[in-house]
Amino acid sequence: MVFLSKWILILFGIFLIGVAFLMLLYPTKARATISKAGSTPLINYMEITLRMVPAAALVLYADFSNYPMLFLVLGWFMLATSLVLYFVPRRLHHQYALKCAAILNPTVIRIISPLSLLFGILIIYATIS
């Protein structure tokens, strides 16, 4: 289980780095993706379920990390917010996503893209160090 958690976290970090480049190079596509959150039952529950995979990996791998408290806090936070989203009406989740997409214009998305890059690098570093 530890080995699998480690690779899930590495893939999660790579995913976040890819998202950073998507945000930087194609901010309009990134914005459109944000606006789709919660738009259909399939997208809503798949998004939430997939988010729980790296969250659980963070919790399971915490004891093997050099940053166990960080992994535990982040993992449990992601799991808790995912569980809350399961019970929030999908319509509200989608409305929130649309509101966020309206705020995050392409320039803002490009400006914040380094945060995703940094977070992805930090997750990989914290997992393999």
**CB atoms near residue 125 (< 10 Å):** 12
The number of residues making up the chain comes to 129
Cα(90)–Cα(47) distance, integer angstroms? 12
Q: Which residues of 62-91 are buried (b: 16+ CB within 10 A; e: fewer)?
A: beebeeeeebbebbeebbeebeebeeeebe
Q: Is the pLDDT of residue 1 over 90?
A: no
The string of pLDDT tens digits covering residues 60-117 is 999 999 899 999 999 999 999 999 999 999 999 999 999 999 999 999 999 999 999 9
- Dmax over CA atoms of the chain, in Å, equals 41
Cα(13)–Cα(120) distance, integer angstroms? 4
End-to-end, the C-alpha distance of the chain in Å comes to 18
The string of pLDDT tens digits covering residues 44-67 is 999 999 999 999 999 999 999 989
